Amino acid sequence: MRIKYVGAALLIALVLSGCGAQNALRKKPTQPLSPEAALHISLDRFEHWTSLFASLKLRFAIHDTTFTARGHLMYLAGERYEVGFEKPYNRFIGTFYVTPSQLIYFDTHSIPTTYTLQDTVMLSRMIPMGVPNWDPRDILPFPVSGRSSGFQTDSVQTEADGRALVYGNGDDVSYVLTLDTQKGTVSNEQVQRGGRDLLLKKYERIKTVQGWPVATRVTCSNPTGDVTFTWSFSDIQLKAPDARPQQSISTSK
């Protein structure tokens, strides 16, 4: 069994999938979804999402250094993302624009650098604080966020507790996705890009916005856990493909 997801990679909103998977999610099925349907719900952003806008809080814990930055996330159909930060955080982190074919990084002096798919892009060069040599595209807060072409399923392993482990690849990246087939969501992800450190991602506090699941807290970490980037989202606005009015939810306490 091989499943192909044609998506691009990366400046901003959250897309999800086919009508069957969408309807299954909205009905809150008592029977588990198939791994294929659960994957559709989580990965088919490219064709079905229009846009997502959210306020973000990004907490960095890098060895003995911890700080929090505030900003915004924007996703647009076609796997295009923008991650920007408010003052004074923008003077420390910069602004990221990610598309399927390139990454544009405005540094702390607002000077842009454009990277193509052939360039080696390392987060450690942008945030020189001892972070792993991850590709910035892979730490974006959506499953399989670094893809520039597609996602190919290699195998699926069903667990006794109803979870499913999906092993797959895209470009030069290997993925392991943990699916909750009852909810049709991804709870964990392993990302191994060629020549890079292993990246672990955890998806929590998943809210349903216009029928689509959105993780409002996503933690990216290395295997030892001494480096973590935790995304938290509030005031989420999602315009779904059926042109209904925008719905806004707040996850703030």
- In angstroms, the CA 246 to CA 117 distance is 34
Residue 141 CA neighbour count, 13 Å, CB half: 34
- In angstroms, the CA 240 to CA 51 distance is 7
- In angstroms, the CA 68 to CA 75 distance is 22
Q: Which of 55, 52, 53, 44 is nearest to 151 (CA)?
A: 44
Residues of the chain with pLDDT under 50: 1-27, 29, 241-253
CA pseudo-torsion sign 233, 162, 45, 107? positive
Per-residue H/E/C for 62-79: ECCEEEEEEEEEEEECCC
Q: Which of 79, 78, 71 is nearest to 54 (CA)?
A: 71
pLDDT at 246: 40
Per-residue H/E/C for 71-115: EEEEEECCCEEEEEECCCCHHHHCEEEECCCEEEEECCCCCEEEE
The single-letter DSSP state of residue 32 is P
Instruction: Tell me the pTM.
Output: 0.81
For 100, 122, 216, 227, the CA distances from 198, given in Å and listed in that order, are 22, 13, 23, 12
pLDDT at 89: 86
pLDDT tens-digit map of 14-44: 233 344 444 444 445 457 788 888 888 888 7
pLDDT at 14: 29
Q: Is 199 helix (H, G, I), strand (E, B) or coil?
A: strand
